[in-house]
Each structure stands twice: as C-alpha cells, then as structure tokens.
Structure 1
Amino acid sequence: MPKLAESVPSGVLAGALRLAFGLPAPLRRLITGRPITVDGQRLHPEAQLLLRLQQLSGEDWRTTTPAENRLALSRSNQLVCGPIIDGVAVRALSAAGVGARFYEPTNLPPGSPLLVFYHGGGWVSGDLDSHDNLCRFLAVESGVRVLAVDYRLAPEHPFPAAVDDARNAFTWATEHAEELNVDPRRIALGGDSAGGNLAAVTALHADRAKPVFLLLFYPAVDATVRRRSRELFGQGFFLTDEKMDWFMDHYAPSRDTHTDPRLSVLLAEDLSGLPPTYVATAGFDPLRDEGEAFAEKLAEQGVPVVLRRHPGLFHGFANILGVGGVFREAVAEAVGSLRTGLALANAQQDVPDTA
C-alpha cells in the first residue's frame, strides 16, 4: 500500500499540517508525546510536532535513488514552505551558463545590495523551486535583490562541478551588477546546508571582487571528521547519519577529495580574508558542531562573526515558513543580521580614505 504522503495530494497534506499546528496546546502535546531533551537542549514543541506528523504521514527524505530523493524533498518542502510570498518580481536568467532565478522586491530602487544564494540538498537534491519561498522571504524582508543559483547536482555532476558553478555565477553577478540594478560593492553570499558550503567556498576562493557578507544556515564545512553532534542527532531529526553518508558518497565518492578546502572549507589554513559572517546552527542537527567550529575558527582569525544556535530546532528549519512560528522567527533573525551587515558595509565604503 502507498504511504499516506504518496496517496494524498500535497495541498491537502499541507492544509492538514496547518490545521494540526492550530490545535490547542493540550491536543498538540497528545500528538507529540513527552518532551525530548538531548545534550541539555529541549526540542521545541513545534519542531517536535512537525517531526511527529512527518513520521505519522510516512513522509521521508529518502536515500534510495537520487531521483526519489529529489522527489521526496520536493514534496516535503511543499508541505512546509507556506503560501507563495508576494511583493517580489521573479524571472529566470543564465549566469555564465549556470541557471538562475532573480528576485526583485516591488519598488526597490536601483543600487540595492544583492544576495547570491545557493540552495541546500546535499549537493544531490534541491533546486530553484525547493527554495523559492525562502528566497522570496529573504528578498522581501531584507530589501535586497536575490540571485538563486541552480548549480549542477551529483551524482550526474560530482565534485567540484557545484563549486565551479557557484563561483562562476558569483563572478557573473559582480560583472553584471549594473544590468541587475545592484551595487557591485554590496554583494553578499548565502546558502543553507550544502549551499552554505558553496557560499563559504566561493567567498574563500573569489579572485577579484569579494563578497561583503556571508549568510550561512547550518553549513556543511568538514567532510573529514565525525563530531559529537553527528552521533547525538544522527537519527530521528530529519537529517540522518545515513543520509549524510549517502550524499557524500554521491557528491565526493573519492575520499582523497574530502580534505580539499573546496569541500572541507574548515580545513583551509587561512580564513582571515572572509567577510563578516552570520552562522545559524540548529541544536538538533548532526551538522551543528562543524558549523560552530567554523564560526570559532573565523573568530580566532579575526573575522567578525555572529554564531547563533537555535537550540530547539533541527536541520532544514529555514525552509519551514508555512507552519508554526519558531522556524520563521529564526529566519527573520538571520534577515536582521543580513540587513545590518550590508548597512555596515555601505557605511564603511562611504568613509573617505585619509591615507
């Protein structure tokens, strides 16, 4: 028999999900069960409810084949991304041969900052559609134009294809800033999970123009070490230990590549040239500890960095804009950091050179 998640239209399931989140608190607690506490952190009730409903529906982010994994992620995102956010014009374009989608908030004047954004999905899944509402949210709430990059996916295009596409798209954006109506001096990079990896790697290896800010949601930054958070949260919290191995086996099957800083950016000796950075991690995420180790290394090397752990959330929270409130609040906090970082970059550029 097909699972409930496969036999019921996504729109119906999404409506049922919103209905469940609207139930009185005592009923929600009956569904979720006892509070979950690990490593001194309590899973937020909204996060626990979502995981429990995912379990009951049979919805899962599968690791059987890349095609099924992509379909499962697409369905999962449709359930939680929420209604399409208005107030932004969207168009497709090509960035040096790399597919992309450009977001322009309504009535935003020319000369705004630009956020080049790389979607997550383990370098195997995810696309422009899976992160469409997140990019809309970032554009509208930050007051910036956003260029979402549709980099090539593994296993059809293994490492370093995604790295090359990410870098080429960023370079293209800096060279075509005028026609995009953006300020070439205020271009930021951002991404979630695998996309956070690509953003950090692109910033590290940028040749000429450099990004002025990094916005990273739970980035993957080290393929060489199994940290404690992977042992603690590798099962039952959306991103699993099995999935992480499966993604890496498809993206970088040769272990010889795992120490390459274009994959394990945390291993780069010199990170001091990176711009001010905001790193958001989730308490119940296998990637938590490596993201926080990255932030700590940035601070040690003199890079202005804000590390924000959301202790009650799990991996992937940036896409959950349609149910509950805690997930959206976490993304809104990152938006505030992006706005501040871009404003400071603008102020620094306006200071006259007295040398």
Structure 2
Amino acid sequence: MFLHPDAQFYIDTLPTLSAAEQVNFGKDPAAPGVVASHSALDTEITGVPVRVYTPVSVAVEAALPCLIYFHGGGWAGGTLDMIDATVRSLVTGLPIIAISVDYRLAPAHPFPAAIDDAFAVVSAVLEGTSGLEIDTSRVAIGGDSAGGNLAAVTAQQLREHAVASAIVPALAHQVLIFPVTDVSTTDTPSYLQFGADCYLTKEAMEHYIEQYADGHDRTDPRLSPLLAPDLSGLPPTTIVYGECDVLAHQIRAYGQALLEAGNSVTVTEFMGQIHAFINLAGISSDARAARRFIRAELEAALC
C-alpha cells in the first residue's frame, strides 16, 4: 500500500489541526474566483434547511440548471460551512444553481430522516415548487461519502416514483464521490486492507452505520443502494473515489452494477488517495483535479 504524499501529509498533520484549519484545507488557493462566482443564501425548501448558490455573472432571463448536493459526515456530522468550498468549486464559472442540503443527522434523527429530507428537496426542485428559477429538465444530484449514499438512494427512489406517477422529470445526472453503497457488511478486501491507517477506519464506519441504521435491516436498498434488485433506468453517473479507501471495493462494485444494468457510468479512481480527499484542495493536487473533472462532467450534462 502506497499513499499519495498529499494524503500521507494530511493523515500525519490531522491530529494537530483545529476545526478552522481543516475547513481551510478545503479551499483551493489557486482559485480565488471560486467564491466570487456564486452568491450564497441560507433558506429552506419544503422545511429543510439549504444553502442556495446562484451565479452572479449570469443574467437570469431563463431557468438555470441545478446541482443538488448532500455533504458527507457519516450521516451524523458535516455542515454546510464544511462543504462550502467543495460545492462552490463544482459549479464555479458555470451557469448552474447549486443547492447544498442540511439534512437531519443521526443519532438524534436516524434512518430514514436523512433520506426523507433528501427526497423532499429533490422532489420539490423537479416539480418546480422550490421557489427557484430552475430548469427541471436539467437537474443533477451529488454527494460525498454518506451524502453520496443519499444521492444514490434518492436517484433510485425517484426512478420508482416516476414509474408510478409519470410526472416527475428524470434526473439529468448524478455525481457520487466516494459513496457508501453497502452498509450490510464491513467484511470486504478494502476494509481489510485500508481499515486501520488510511484516515477513515473500519471501526469508525461501523460506528456511523450503527448510529444511522438504528437497528433497521441493513440490506434495505434505502441503506445499501448496491443491493437494489433492479439498477436499470438510473441517470448518467460520475463516480470518483480514492484507491486507499475502506469503501473502494463497494464503490467499484456499484459502478460495475450500474454499467451491467445498462446505465451510462464513468468511474475514476485516484491512486494512493484516501477517503474524503476531494475536500483537501488546499493541499492536494488530486483534490483539485477531481473537482475540475467533476465540474467538466456537470457542464457537459447540464449546460
């Protein structure tokens, strides 16, 4: 196992970092225009707190495409401020509205609270009831880690809802960044190989899963989207993850399963990288490259 030097530096430095310093690690010093590209407003959609990023240099004469994003944090942590730099970077310079969702967290609000919040926000956007000028035919969802899990599950739920109602427009794209796709087991090769010394540990994941699942059947596809019996008819998908992640095995498996079900899938692995690396743009060239790649995927899908 060989960690990327940026990843090793972060792991070695992490015990000395304050919360503010960790947030600063997410900011790309080479991209000062990221903040200026979009204005931000904290508000609510269907009662769920969100932060809406609106392009400042675009004359809003017509509805704009939209990215709805769910932060990581093991379904029990994470904030809109912690993910702010990442969300901004994915839409900077693009005529895309971004919505960052502050869903309810475990253990106070275990499964399915987060999924309910995610589905409510995305449904409101697609149905045109969010109060925002959004082109409902050009909506993407995305998220990292636990947020990637919420995005994957929401995409599956929307497909089922669309089949039943024939009303809700289809998603144009989904971006899954080192997503949790299977909480039913931590007995995989990547958990064995990377579960102790690569930032996110097997022990930590088991704790997060226990808090969130709260006794629910962990093979339920709303917890483990990889285990859904039918993965056909899902939106075009971009998957990004690091090689040295306890989730790597299940992430690759989800990408393969989506492909075998007839979906359009692009899977990109960053060698030597750890879980959550995309949030380290202040120190990681791979994080900056991943953000540029995802931004290009979103531009191609939505603009």
TM norm. shorter chain > 0.5:
yes
Q: Contact 2:278–2:286 at 8 Å: present in 1 too? A: no
Stretches of structure 1 lacking an aligned partner (at least 5 in a row) = 1-37, 60-71, 344-355
Distance 2:57 2:237 in 1: 28
Equivalent residue, structure 1, for 2:165: none
Equivalent residue, structure 2, for 1:116: 68
| Pick aligned residue for 1:217 from 177, 191, 200 | 177
Q: CA deviation at 1:141?
A: 4.5
Q: CA deviation at 1:178?
A: 8.1
Q: Does 1:245 align with 2:206?
A: yes
Equivalent residue, structure 2, for 1:353: none
Distance 2:237 2:94 in 1: 16
| Pick aligned residue for 1:266 from 226, 250, 263 | 226
Distance 1:178 1:119, change over 3 A: closer
Equivalent residue, structure 2, for 1:329: 289
Q: Contact 2:38–2:56 at 8 Å: present in 1 too? A: yes
Q: TM-score, normalised by structure 2?
A: 0.90
| Pick aligned residue for 1:231 from 181, 188, 192 | 192
Aligned pairs (5 A) from 1:94-113:
94-110=44-60, 111-113=63-65
Q: CA deviation at 1:175?
A: 2.7
Q: CA deviation at 1:86?
A: 2.3
Distance 1:187 1:129, change over 3 A: same
CA RMSD of aligned residues (A): 1.8
Q: 1:268-310, CA deviations, whole angstroms, 9 ceiling, x for partnerless residues?
A: 0111121000011110100111111000000000000001011
Distance 1:75 1:340, change over 3 A: same
Q: CA deviation at 1:109?
A: 3.9
Aligned pairs (5 A) from 1:21-100:
38=1, 42-55=2-15, 57=16, 59=17, 74-75=19-20, 77-82=22-27, 85-100=35-50
Distance 1:79 1:171 in 2: 33
Distance 1:85 1:177 in 2: 27
Distance 1:76 1:266, change over 3 A: farther
Distance 1:76 1:193, change over 3 A: farther
Distance 1:86 1:257 in 2: 45
SS at match of 1:130: helix
Distance 2:69 2:11 in 1: 27
Distance 1:142 1:200, change over 3 A: farther
Equivalent residue, structure 1, for 2:263: 303
Structure 2 counterpart of 1:144, which letter? I
Q: CA deviation at 1:181?
A: 2.0
Distance 1:76 1:300 in 2: 42
Distance 1:172 1:76, change over 3 A: farther
Equivalent residue, structure 2, for 1:291: 251
Number of corresponding residues? 287
Distance 1:138 1:239 in 2: 23
Q: Does 1:169 align with 2:121?
A: yes
Q: Contact 1:142–1:336 at 8 Å: present in 2 too? A: no
Q: Does 1:201 align with 2:153?
A: yes
Distance 1:297 1:75 in 2: 39
Q: 1:42-83, CA deviations, whole angstroms, 9 ceiling, x for partnerless residues?
A: 32222222222225x2x5xxxxxxxxxxxx8x5463241226
Distance 1:186 1:105 in 2: 16
SS at match of 2:10: helix
Q: Contact 1:177–1:184 at 8 Å: present in 2 too? A: no
Q: TM-score, normalised by structure 1?
A: 0.77
Stretches of structure 2 lacking an aligned partner (at least 5 in a row) = 162-167
| Pick aligned residue for 1:318 from 278, 288, 293 | 278
Distance 1:75 1:258, change over 3 A: farther
Q: Contact 1:121–1:193 at 8 Å: present in 2 too? A: yes
Equivalent residue, structure 1, for 2:134: 182
Distance 1:79 1:88 in 2: 19
SS at match of 1:185: strand
Distance 1:329 1:177 in 2: 35
Q: Contact 1:113–1:144 at 8 Å: present in 2 too? A: yes
Distance 1:221 1:90 in 2: 30
Equivalent residue, structure 2, for 1:19: none
